[in-house]
Amino acid sequence: MREIRSRLPPPFPDRFYERFHIIAHGDKFDVDAFMATSSLRPDYVWRRGPSGTSGIELFLGDGRQTGLIDQEDAAVTYLNTHKEKLKALACFPGVNTFILGLVWICIPEQSVFSVGRVLN
């Protein structure tokens, strides 16, 4: 995430990698075409440039202030409420990465891990 952040033009959301959010992006994703056909309203949009991708962020909350269990509950509610719109986003031409980012702030003695799944 930091690598992408370093290549995106400002204004990049503060502490982007610590935000509780959904991100969809791809090197051939036309965000303007998507937004013209969807009622989802992204909180942050970037267009292909130095980053090499175009994408959107749907901000779900402050991951530093919301506990992991509450983030899970909010994510399930959001996913259920917007299921069809999110399916359309995931299947939109050019989208090849779809991320649900939950945030857990670790203390130095803890290990950090990430779980992901690629959906085709």
**If you ran DSSP here, which 8-state letter would residue 16 be given?**
G
What order do you get walking across the sheet with 54-62 strand by strand? 44-46, 54-62, 19-26, 97-101
Domain count, the chain: 1
Is residue 108 situated within a structural domain? Answer: no
Question: How far is residue 46 from each of residues 26, 67, 105, 109, measured CA to CA in Å?
Answer: 11, 28, 26, 35
In a domain? residue 111? no
Residue 88 is part of which domain span?
2-101
Residue 85 pLDDT > 90, yes or no? yes
- 50: tokens are 């130095």
Strands (E), 1-120: 19-26, 44-46, 54-62, 97-101
Residue 117 lies in a domain: no
pLDDT tens sequence across 52-64: 889 999 989 888 8
Predicted local distance difference test score (pLDDT) of residue 61:
84
Q: How confident is the model at residue 120 (pLDDT cuts 50, 70, 90)?
A: very low
For residue 61, being part of any structural domain is answered with: yes
Residue 113 located in a structural domain: no
Residue 107 domain-assigned? no
Question: Is position 74 within any domain?
Answer: yes
Q: Which of 35-39, 60-64, 97-101 has the lowest mean pLDDT?
A: 60-64
Which tokens belong to 44?
Answer: 């942050």
More confident residue, 101 or 31: 31
- Asked whether 5 and 12 are in contact (CB, 8 A), the reply is yes
